[in-house]
Amino acid sequence: NAGVTQTPKFQVLKTGQSMTLQCAQDMNHEYMSWYRQDPGMGLRLIHYSVGAGITDQGEVPNGYNVSRSTTEDFPLRLLSAAPSQTSVYFCASSFTGGWNKNGYTFGSGTRLTVV
Amino acid sequence: KNEVEQSPQNLTAQEGEFITINCSYSVGISALHWLQQHPGGGIVSLFMLSSGKKKHGRLIATINIQEKHSSLHITASHPRDSAVYICAGVLMEYGNKLVFGAGTILRVKS
């Protein structure tokens, strides 16, 4: 099992550019989510999905879009990158309920810099 | 006030010392995760617990639901334990949603 795969690991964007951060899991998890991690702050939820075709906003959704066409994939789109979106992004997945014995699985992160 | 508070924010220990990191929360949670993040690295789930105590090697996690408090203990600490430790509650009202503490930066010196 690969677990949760995030790509790319590093990315530099110019202000105004768009890009998609990829997240894929092979554990048949219903729940997938995107977080951003900024210095001195805890991880904050951007968007989440409880199953294919179902997405919802988290704590900091502005400037980001998501879709969930399959159980496996949950891409995060930056529509027009801004320096405030410079951060480390993590994708995570779990079975519905979040507190089954396997808990959450996190991807390895994407370090994004917007200049 | 943050919904999940961790203490201390920073912790430096000598190799071999017993370490405790605390987590208090003010929201209803169904379970709590302890996560580990090495510098520049990904996030690994160490424990998930909804009651009592769990042990894995030198790591012990406890939770007191009534007091809304959890602790992570590391026995016989080692420099490779140096990492950021994060507690995260699974929000009772929102199913899978996690609410995170800001993390504790642990450095173990040899």
CB within 8 Å of A111: residues ≥ 6 apart:
A9, A10, A11, A88
In order along its 110 residues, chain B shows pLDDT tens digits of 678 999 999 999 999 999 999 999 998 888 899 999 988 778 988 988 889 999 999 999 999 988 999 999 999 999 999 999 999 998 876 567 888 999 999 999 99
| Arithmetic mean of pLDDT, A76-86 | 97
Tell me which H or E stretch contains B13.
Answer: strand B10-14
Contacts of B2 in chain A (CB under 8 A): 42
For residue A2, pLDDT over 90 is answered with no
- What's residue A19's pLDDT? 96
Across the interface, whether the CB atoms of B42 and A44 are under 8 A apart is answered: no
Task: Lowest mean pLDDT of A20-34, A59-73, B51-65, B85-99, name the range.
Answer: B85-99
Q: What is the distance in angstroms between the Cα of B75 and the nearest Cα belonging to chain A?
A: 23
| Arithmetic mean of pLDDT, A92-108 | 75
| Arithmetic mean of pLDDT, A47-59 | 92
* A101 vs B12 pLDDT, higher one: B12
For residue A45, pLDDT over 80 is answered with yes
Spell out the alpha helix ranges (H) of A1-115: none
Inter-residue contact B60 to B47 (CB < 8 Å): no
- What's residue A101's pLDDT? 55
User: Out of B31, B86, B95, whose CB is closest to A96?
Assistant: B95
Q: Taking an 8 Å Cβ-Cβ cutoff, which residues of chain A contact chain B?
A: 31, 33, 40-45, 48, 50, 58, 90, 92, 94, 96-99, 101, 103-109
- Token readout for A40 is 């001195």
- What's residue A64's pLDDT? 97
Inter-residue contact A20 to A7 (CB < 8 Å): no
| Residue A50, φ and ψ in degrees, nearest 5 | -100, 5
- Token readout for B73 is 């203990």
Of A41, A44, A38, the residue nearest A87 (C-alpha): A38
Band (pLDDT 50/70/90 cuts) for residue A78 is very high
Place of tokens 């580990």: B36
Inter-residue contact A29 to A95 (CB < 8 Å): yes
**A75 preceded by a cis bond (ω within 30 of 0):** no
Band (pLDDT 50/70/90 cuts) for residue A73 is very high
CB count within 10 Å of CB A13 equals 19
| Arithmetic mean of pLDDT, A93-97 | 77
DSSP A5: E
SS3 state of residue B19: strand
